[in-house]
Structure 1
Amino acid sequence: MNPQNNGALHTTLALTLFSLAALAPGLAQAQTVKIGVPVPLSGSSAAAGTDILNGAKLAAAKINAAGGVLGKQIELVPEDDACDAQTAVQAAQKLVDAGVVAVAGGYCSSAALPELTAFHRAGIPYVLDASTNPKLTEMGYDNVFRTIGRDDEQGPFAASFIKNSLHAKRAAVIDDNTTYAKGLAQNTVESLKKMGVDVVYADSITPGQMDYSPTLTKVSSLKPDVIYYTGYFSEAGLLVKEARQVGLKMTFMGGDGTNDPTLMKTAGPAADGMIITTAPLAQFLPGAHDYLDQYNKSYGQGPGPYSVYEYDAVGVTAKAIADGKSAKPADISAALHKITDYQGATGTIGFNPKGDRSRAVYITVVVHNDQFEPYQRQDASGKWVAMK
Structure 2
Amino acid sequence: MAATAAARQGRSTLLVERYGFLGGAGTAGGLSTFCGLHAKVHGEHVQVVHGLADELLERLAKLDGLSAPHLTINDGILAQAFDISSYKLAADELVTGAGAGLLFHAMAVAVVMTDEATIDAVVIESKSGRAAVRGRVFIDASGDADVAAWAGVPFETSPHLLFPSMMFRINGVDVAAAGERPWRTVERLMDEAEQAGTHRFPRKKPIVRPQRNPLEWRANLTQLSNADGSAIDGTDVEQLTRGELQGRQQVFDAFAFIRDRTPGFGSSYIVDIAPQVGIRETRRVVGDHVLTEDDVLDCVDFPDTIGVNGWPVEAHVAGTVEFRWQRGEDSRGFNQLPYRMLLPQRVDNLLVVGRCASMTQMGQSSARVTGPCFAMGQAAGTAAALALDDGSTLRGVDVGRLQQRLRGDGAFLGDEPA
Greater helix proportion: 1
Q: Give me the TM-score of the superposition, normalised by structure 2.
A: 0.27
- Structure 1 or 2, whichever has the larger Rg, is 1
Q: Determine which structure has greater relative contact order: mean sequence separation of CA pairs < 8 Å that are 6+ residues apart, divided by chain length.
A: 2
